[in-house]
Structure 1
Amino acid sequence: MPEPFQCHGVQAVPQALRRLRHDLLAWVLAAGVEPDRAGDIVLASYEALANVADHAYDGAGAGVVDLDAAVHPDRIEVVITDHGRWRTPVADPRPVSLRGRGLLLLRASADRADISAGEDGTVVTLAWDLAPVRP
């Protein structure tokens, strides 16, 4: 199994989060995950990262996010942790907003999604089975 992927203290700003997304994709592919499955992993993980930037910090300066990913015998797991507090995002001025669908996307893209919010931040744990059950 590959070594875990860990990035801690990453600024929760778009440029840093995009770089983290690319690094995660490279790690997932190097772990031998099929490209379609790797796409699901990175899509859900990036959505969770984007939620940190939108919701976790009060705008007094960018906060940080931690990402830990590991391959286990039966699954791959990604844990995204912020150290902020929930805040309502600024209203989207576009006529048809895509906002508010992030949690749906997480749950649709991962086999399991657990979100735990508290006083010290939010932890999002996403997991994908390595040998998914086929219908």
Structure 2
Amino acid sequence: MSRHTPDPGVDTGESTDADQTPTTSPQRFAPGAVVASTFEELAPALPNEMADLRRKLTRWLGEFPLDPGSTHDITLATYEALANVAAHAYPDGHGWARLQATRAGDVVTVTVTDTGCGIPATRPKRPDIRTPGGRGLLLIDQVTDQSDITTGGRGTTVRMTWRPAALRDKNPA
């Protein structure tokens, strides 16, 4: 199962595992210093660990000149994807979530990956007020410029992309 919300003006920055950079820890830099353009963490798929990943991502995003609305949308959608990993990916309760984020120019891309059971093909396409859950993926679609979800028996990857106005070059060459 794969789902894609297209936005032809957005480069998702997709790469292979061999192209991935090592894990970076967010930290405060002096004005004018170069901020790490990548962030990556691997954590057990437990609710408290997912909340910790959200806090780390928020600190990393704080190094960029993002408006509060963009930061909120990015952390909200990311936490929805992480919460889905903790709640659904590993029915036996044992597994991992990988959070990767990159900034390339005016594009922020966040990817949440697990190696769990995947999203069932039989799930309702739209949430019903009478059923619990099912709103996270809809919310992700609403607050991203582009989202791609690939799922199957070997796990799920949720790739979310934003082009926050605060990162756009005001004086294009």
Give the shorter-chain TM-score range: 0.7 to 0.9
Deviations 1:89-124 (A, max 9, x none): xxxxxx965511111100011111100013321110
The CA distance in 2 between the partners of 1:76 and 1:37, in whole Å, is 10
Larger helix fraction of residues = 1
List gaps (5 residues or longer) in structure 2.
1-33, 121-128, 169-173
Task: Give the alignment's TM-score, normalised by structure 2.
Answer: 0.66
Larger strand fraction of residues = 1
2:161 maps to: 127
Residues 35-50 of structure 1 aligned to structure 2 (within 5 Å): 35-50=68-83
Structure of greater Rg: 2
What is the count of residue pairs matched by the alignment? 125
Runs of 4+ in 1 over 6 A off after TM superposition: none
Percent sequence identity over matched residues? 38
Q: Residue type matched to 2:109 in 1?
A: E
2:20 maps to: none
Offset at 1:87? 6.3
List gaps (5 residues or longer) in structure 1.
89-94
**Cα 1:71–1:43, aligned 2, differ >3 Å: closer, same or farther?**
same
3-state SS of 1:86 partner: coil
1:79 aligns to 2:111 (yes or no): yes
Is the 2:117–2:153 Cα contact (8 Å) retained in structure 1?
Answer: yes
Task: Give the alignment's TM-score, normalised by structure 1.
Answer: 0.83
3-state SS of 1:71 partner: strand
The CA distance in 2 between the partners of 1:11 and 1:20, in whole Å, is 10
